[in-house]
A and B are shown apart, each in its own frame.
Chain A
Amino acid sequence: MYDMSLLKPLKLIRIARRAGVVTVRYPYQPPLITDEFRGRIVIDAKKCIGCGACVNVCPSNALTLIDDGDKRILNYFIGRCIYCGRCADVCPVNAITISKEFELATDKIENLNSRVVHQKSTCCSCGEERVATEKMISYVVSRVPVSEAYAHMGSNCRKRRFVEGLMLGRGMLHVETEK
């Protein structure tokens, strides 16, 4: 008499034959990713207004804002990115899209950085203080009832103008008018 239970492990042969080969010949075949996959982000420089909303929510500091003179630079460093896509959620102008790209290995670190450079406007009153980016100002002006001139004014000049207006109204300041 034979103990048939000893042959039970052999059932695996049938399972294996049914399953067949399950691996793909990557990288010669396309990788198995679904439609929902989140890869690196792509920033549309034309749409981006440089508001920094994405920088505020980025958990890993992959997105940073650098203020450099009259330039404001939005820097995206893939090396830190965790591909959560929070930046795409909060972008007010939908400038950020999530791509399916994930094969990002490179031997040059510069390839991991991408930048969007914005021109900052100067205060229309004093001509010195740097205000927000040009694009951000036009975005605000198109949505909120403020005049373009006011939006172009730096915060110091706005405060000064407010205080001066107040003093004028109370007669504490006299404006010399030309005769």
Chain B
Amino acid sequence: MVDVEPRLEDVEKIRKELEVKLGNIARRIEYVSGAGLIVEVPKDSIRDTVKVVHDELDAYLRVIAGVDERPIKGVFSSYYVFGLDNIGLNIIITTYMDSENPSISTIADIAPSADWYELEMYDLLGIRVENRQLYRFVLPEDWPEGLYPLRKDVAHNIRPPPTPAEKGVITGPRIPVGPYHPALHEPEYFELYVEGERVVDVRYNGFHVHRGIEKLGESRFTYQQVPFLAERICGICGFVHSVCYTQAVENAAKIEVPERAEFIRSIILEVERLHSHLLWVGVACHLLGYDAGFMHAWRIREKTMVLAELLTGSRKTYGINLIGGVRKDINRDKIDTVLKTIKWVEDEFRKLVEVITSVPQVVKRASGTGILPRHEARRYSVVGPVARASGLNRDVRKDYPYAAYKYVSFKVPVYTEGDNLARLLVRVDEIFESINIIRQLLDQLPSGSIMAEDIEIPEGKIGVSSVEAPRGEDIHLVITGKGRPYRWRVRAPTYQNIPALKVMLKDAPLADAPLTIASIDPCFSCTDRVIVVDVSTRKRKIISLRKLVKLEGNGCMI
């Protein structure tokens, strides 16, 4: 077990409270270590249960996972994972649905962040969500109707012939599911509706690179191969996903991971945060037209990349994580090099930050733009630096401690302004905190083995684990199966943050949009194409983000 369990008396208190409030509807309320408090309810009472958990207990929505359990239980099921930050407890509401015609009522009006999960559940599993509008979300538009890829009776390698999509609706490029390599930038696609220079609404059209990774992990890979697949979910914070997956399996199977391996995982996670935040600082400077800052941020970042290679054998996609521990040890020489490098990074970055925060165009453009007020941040359950910049003190490393974070002390930077500058400052502070954490971890690094012996994974167990990625909370839910996960649900942080962009962009000048979109660090990349729709004339034009940056760059120099 990697994750620290919440205190038993806290769990008991919540369990009693739920029993009082849900006594007549819940079929089962049981604490499962490694996962959370499981509340099983009939599907008709899902709304009442969610109201109690979300509104009365003030738990926030972490992830919803639909599962095709027909081969084992003969039903479809759905797991709603809520989190109680203050005691580090997951409340998992499970409910079963009919195998022929699965359906469930919506909870998106109670917890707005459920919107995407429900659409995804319908798209991939064919679970109808009632009392709300359903449309194609993840799958491409020419995917045949009635073929739900995450169902167990659908093979992972089918390639259905495309069916012609309806005409008349203008949407993004249509790209079939499959491995697709969008060189350099990731395809994300925003439609901004404007009145003159003012943004009135935003529509997101994404998932052009849906690769069906969950399906692959459930059908072709084995337990110890999935960490390498998980690492490829994200090009910047891949190690986060592989740690999160291995921890979820370790939680489900109750595998004891050696302490030294936990420390090494934490050290690599922090090195990854360093490079990711430095990358973001550079990109933010670039978007603000301050390319000198961009160059120097990346000059400093390069040292952390070399450091990662020294510790793991690769600059990215480290490939050192397995269920039960890690594959590469850290010796004395490496510790000395790490200490020397992070000292250099700390000094250089401190000097650079002083300069960046004194450049008028950076400060003026970033402050007061893209504001996300605290109550909206809570409503959308945003995570990571976006939440912390809006006054929510949320950090998985503190709230649901995992790996070696229980042995170190660190500050969680919180700003209340909720604007782009606050999000920048949160990340700057976190870089210094990360350096601090790496020092403490190296100092306390225990001796011993780095890999657990005897790894046995029983079937049908559930495990939930979360990791604080540079972009926020990453959460994986695993139901174990034979030789490979039966269900593996991945929720990356950006999934939770993008819906909140609506609030940040609304009523703001168009020129601030690129920076605001970038400020959530959308697993970065390419918000590269933006459609601008003038509401008064209904004219659409596509501008590349680069051109948009130029437009405002000139504006700001005047």
The interface of chain A, by Cβ under 8 A from chain B, is: 5-6, 8-9, 11-12, 15-16, 19, 22, 32-38, 57, 59-60, 82-86, 89
Contact = CB atoms under 8 A, between A and B. Distances in A.
9 contacts: A11-B354, A11-B355, A15-B348, A16-B296, A34-B309, A36-B309, A36-B312, A59-B228, A60-B228
A34 B306 contact: yes
**B contacts with A: majority SS:** helix
Given A12-B296, A22-B299, A59 B352 contact: no
Interface string B340-364: 0000000010011011001110000
B327 interface: yes
Given A32-B306, A38-B314, A82 B296 contact: no
Given A32-B306, A36-B312, A8 B358 contact: yes
A15 B311 contact: no
B225 interface: yes
A172 to B, nearest CB: 39
A85 B328 CA distance: 11
Interface in B299-319: 299, 302, 306, 309-314, 317, 319
B224 interface: yes
A59 B225 CA distance: 5
B175 interface: no
Interface of B: 221, 224-225, 228-229, 292-293, 296, 299, 302, 306, 309-314, 317, 319, 327-328, 348, 351-352, 354-355, 358-360
Contacts, number: 65
B225 A12 contact: no
A11 B351 CA distance: 9
A50 to B, nearest CB: 21
Nearest to A14: B351
B311 A12 contact: no
Nearest to A82: B228
A32 B351 CA distance: 26
B317 A22 contact: no
A60 B229 CA distance: 9
Contact of B310 (A6, A12, A36, A83): A36
Contacts of A12: 292-293, 296, 355
Given A9-B358, A11-B355, A15-B351, A33 B309 contact: yes
Given A15-B351, A32-B306, A89-B327, A5 B312 contact: no
A52 to B, nearest CB: 14
Contacts of A19: 296, 299
B12 to A, nearest CB: 42
Nearest to A98: B313
B292 to A, nearest CB: 6
A9 B354 CA distance: 8
Nearest to B313: A38
A35 B310 CA distance: 7
A37 B311 CA distance: 9
Nearest to A9: B359
A33 B310 CA distance: 9
B314 A15 contact: no
Contacts of A82: 228, 317, 319
Contacts of A59: 221, 225, 228-229
Contacts of A32: 306
A82 B309 CA distance: 15
Contacts of A5: 358
A109 B374 CA distance: 56
B352 A15 contact: yes
